[in-house]
Each structure stands twice: as structure tokens, then as C-alpha cells.
Amino acid sequence: MNLFFSGAILLGCLVLPTAVMAWDGFDADTTDLVELTPDKLPAPGEAVEVRDYDTDTTQTCLVVSVARNSRTIEVVVRAPDGKQRTLVMEGR
């Protein structure tokens, strides 16, 4: 009986999709809520997924620069259309 429950729990963990962690913040120009994926401090030159909650769109952007402030981190990214966005993210 105990083996049955252990097997059922293991199977449930393997079948259920796992949530991808994301990093929340906002766009400095438009104040739109955004999230970055993956949930880590990016380095300049890395590609990140930027999800904009207000327009419900996701773009793959290139990180231009990262600046730490006392409570936030500013990540400047370049969108595929060439436009730069400054994203203010929660401090780490």
C-alpha cells in the first residue's frame, strides 16, 4: 500500500508541468508590468524573454547593460525592432 502511494506521488510529479520562474518588474518609459525569463541576473550580450503584461506579448531581447541600484536593478534590453527599453526589476 505504501509503495502504491509513493509511486502515485512520483508519477504525479513527473506528469504535472512545472512552472518556469520569472523575474518581475516594469518598463521605465511606459510603466507597463513586465517579467524576464529566466529568473536570474542577466549579463550584457545574453538573450532574455520579456513578457509585457499590458499587451500580453513576449519578445526575445538582447541585454545591452545591467545597473544595480540600492533597491532595484535596471536592465536595458534591445528589442528585435531595434528599440531599447529600460526595465526596472526587483532587487536581488
Q: Does an H or E element contain 74, and which?
A: strand 72-78
Q: How much is the pTM?
A: 0.75
**Cα separation, 87 vs 48, whole angstroms:** 12
pLDDT digits (tens, 9 = 90+) for 4-20: 555 555 555 555 444 55
* Strand pairing category for 47-52 and 23-27: unpaired
* Strand pairing category for 84-90 and 23-27: antiparallel
pLDDT digits (tens, 9 = 90+) for 24-47: 999 999 999 999 999 899 999 999
Contact, 36 vs 25, CB < 8 A? yes
